[in-house]
Every structure is written in structure tokens, then in C-alpha cells.
Structure 1
Amino acid sequence: MNDHPESLTRRVFVALAPPDDAKDELARALEPAYAAYPQLRWNRIEDWHITLAFLGELPSAAVPLLQPALAGLAASHPALRLGLRGGGHFDQRLLWSGIDGDLDGLQLLAADVRDVVRACGIDFKDRPLRPHLTLARARRDDPSSVPQAAAGLTAFVGRPWRTERLHLVGSNIGRGPGPIHYRDIEAWRLGSDSTGP
């Protein structure tokens, strides 16, 4: 919270993040798309995440209420085995990679996160979970780049990995049309109250 002390609100979400080697693997698969579609607004690799609950603009004072509750949830929730697979698009404007693996466990974790957020008295739009990793966005006058880039990802199958941490993330939105960047407010190890694998 210290990076924007003047801000009375902050855009916040709860997410998982693939490990660096899984992100690097996908980035290598995206190299032809990076070259072919430089006009897309590509997300930074370090900002890739799987959103479990998008909370929107919150009063800065509400964020500390979430931290102990999410820490407790993470400690009691097992790590998940996931992977990145294929690609697709929403509305011809948003390019994503799909999520593979323990999708039932992912849905359960997302439901538990949303329950914890509501129990903290925070109101948010509870949209259905569509697990994905957002890769790029197209400009309004470019209806073809994202579907074409998605078609190039259909055969991609990444190696499986274990989730390690639950992240509470704040977006760092600057003025103008520049990219959105994200920063962890805090992150907690999943399953840290057990000695299991």
C-alpha cells in the first residue's frame, strides 16, 4: 500500500501465478505471435496470473481486512496441480491461454476465496470463473489479430506445475493508454499448515 499513499481506493484481485519456468515455456511458444502481431498490447510476462476473484476498486482501508482471512484460507487449502494449455479469445479482443489440470480444485479454491471476501464485508461482482491467463489485448480497430494468434496456440501443452502461493494483487494503473501493471500486496503459501507433499 505504500507505493500509492495518496490513493483512497485500489483495484484489487486474488489470483494464482504460474512459476517462472512455465511462463518461459509459454513465452517461447508465443515468439511467432510476438513477431507477427506487434500491434497487440502484450501483457508483461511477470504480470501473467489466473484471477480467482476480481474485487474491483476497494477503499484502501478495506485491504488489511482481507489479509489475515486470505492467509488462513491459503494455509488450509492444498496446492493444486495445473498447467497451461492451448489458447483462445474473448470477443476477438482478448487473447488467453487455457488452464489444465485440477480444475475442480481450482473452482473450489475460487469459491472459498469469494466466500472469504464476502465474509470480510466486501461487495464485488461475483462472475463465473473462466480460468485463463490473459496474454494480450487488441485495439478496437483490429478484429483479426487476436483470433489468428489464438489459432497458433491451439497445439500448445505446457508442463504441469504445482501452485505455490495465493496472491492478493493490486493493479498499478497509470494515466493514458499505457499497459496495466500488477504488484503483489501480499502472497501466502498454499497448504502451509500441513506437512503433506
Structure 2
Amino acid sequence: MRQQQTQTHYFYALKLPNEVKQKLNEYCQSIQSEFPFSRWVHKEDYHITLAFLGHAPQDKLETTKMLIKAAISEFKAFPLTIQSLGTFGRSDAPRIFWAGIEPAPSLVDVRAAVFSACEQAGFKLETRPFHPHITMARKWQGDASFPLSTAELEKYFTTPISFQAQEIVLYQTHLDKSPKYEAVAIFPL
């Protein structure tokens, strides 16, 4: 019998506090019937991606851990606010439905430190501009087009959620599980 090999992927992310995950999950549950996406993200998998590594050999992961620890040593916990909704992909059939983060210089600085440490360790990272967000659902499945414009989405999330960003986490992906992200290293701010 041939074993199916699934490649494990790794990424660094900002962990959300449990109470924030719960509030986001409650919000998602309240709107799921209006927005037929194929997959809603498990509440334990909510996070803000800082650097996606993809498949990674153990020695390079160990190097990133060392470099990340040094790179973020001067950072302290900082406030963030989830304040908006948005989509990636086609406006009529989005690929990703997300909650957006209010612009925060501390988040940009932490992301730059993590990103740079991963590049130093030899990873080739995505070069798209940083757009901090929390993925809530994937793949539009509606019979009709996605019903909200960008401007309407901004008004749809009426209660901002504020929290302290306190931990950077190295996550490992398990595509066959739910939740599918496992914390393999944690770096407190």
C-alpha cells in the first residue's frame, strides 16, 4: 500500500487572544447564512500572517527561530483593532473573505522584523505588499454574485474588536485536520 505524502507548510503569524477568536467566530456564525462560502475558517485557526514559509527543512526552521527571537526582542505587546471586512479575488465571487486590521505602525514594524529574519534564514518570501487581515472564509459558493461592494463591506462590520498583540507563533499546517494550524514555537512580545 502506497502512503500518500502531504507536504507540511509553515508560517509565522500574530496570534489572536482566545476572546477575540470567540467574538470573530460569533460574528461569522451570525452572517454565514447570508454569505455562502465553501469553507468557514475554524475559530482556532484565526491569525494574522506575517511570513509564509511553505515547505521548510528543520534546520532552516531552527535558524528562523533563533533569528526571530533576536529580531523581536525589543518589541513589546501593542494594541490592534479589527475594524473592517474585505475580500480578495473577483468582486462577484471572492476567493477569500477577511476581517481587516486598523493600520498600526507597530504591526508593520514587527512584520518587517519577522520577514527579514526569515529571509536571512534563506527563505524566498512572497513580495506582495503587506495587507494585515484575518481570513474568515474561503471560496464563494453563492448562486448569485457576492452581494456587497467594498464600500458596503466597510459598513457591515459595526463593532470594532480591540486587543493586545502579545505573541508571534510559528504554525505548522495539517490540511487533514480541523483546526488545521498547530503552534510549534511561540515568541512572546
CA distance in 2, matches of 1:20, 1:10: 25
- Shifted more, 125-134 versus 35-44: the winner is 35-44
Contact 1:29 1:153 (8 Å CA) reproduced: no
Q: Distance in 2 between matches of 1:24 and 1:141?
A: 26
CA 1:118–1:142: 2 relative to 1, 3 Å: farther
Note the C-alpha offset of 1:9. 5.7
Quick check: 1:8–1:60 contact (8 Å CA) kept in 2? no
| Contact kept? 1:54, 1:124, Cα under 8 Å | yes
Report whether the alignment pairs 1:183 with 2:185: no
Contact 1:171/1:183 (CA < 8 Å) preserved in 2? yes
**Deviation (angstroms), 1:66:** 1.2
**Residue matched to 2:131:** 130
- Greater mean deviation of Cα atoms: 102-111 or 30-39: 30-39
Paired residue total: 180
Amino acid at match of 1:131: P
Quote the Cα distance in structure 2 between the aligned partners of 1:35 and 1:172.
27
Structure 2: gaps of 5 or more residues: none
Residue 137 of structure 1 contacts residue 146 of structure 1 at CA under 8 Å; is this kept in 2? no
From 90, 93, 96, the equivalent of 1:94 is: 96
Match of 1:165 in 2: 167
Contact 1:89 1:95 in 2 (8 A): yes
Letter aligned with residue 29 of structure 1: Y
CA distance in 2 between partners of 1:179 and 1:151 (Å): 28
- 2:53 aligned partner, one-letter code: L
- Residue pairs, 1:107-122, within 5 angstroms: 107-122=108-123
- Residue identity matched to 1:126: T
Following superposition, the deviation at residue 77 of structure 1 comes to 1.4
- 1:168 to partner: Cα distance: 0.9
Shift of the 155–37 alpha-carbon distance from structure 1 to 2, 3 Å rule, reads closer
Whether the 8 Å CA contact 2:72–2:110 is kept in 1: the answer is no
Q: Indicate conservation of the 8 Å contact 1:86/1:97, yes or no.
A: yes
- TM-score scaled by length of structure 1: 0.78
The C-alpha deviation readout for 1:144-181, integer Å capped at 9, x for no partner, is 35858x8397233333211111111111123xxx8771
Match of 1:3 in 2: none
Alignment of 1:16-165 (within 5 A): 16-37=14-35, 39-91=37-89, 92-100=94-102, 103-139=104-140, 144-145=145-146, 147=148, 151=153, 154-165=156-167
* Residues 98 and 135 in structure 2, CA contact (< 8 A), matched pair in contact too: yes
Deviates more, 1:27-36 or 1:139-148: 139-148
Question: Alpha carbon RMSD of aligned pairs, Å?
Answer: 2.8
- Residues 37 and 137 in structure 2, CA contact (< 8 A), matched pair in contact too: no
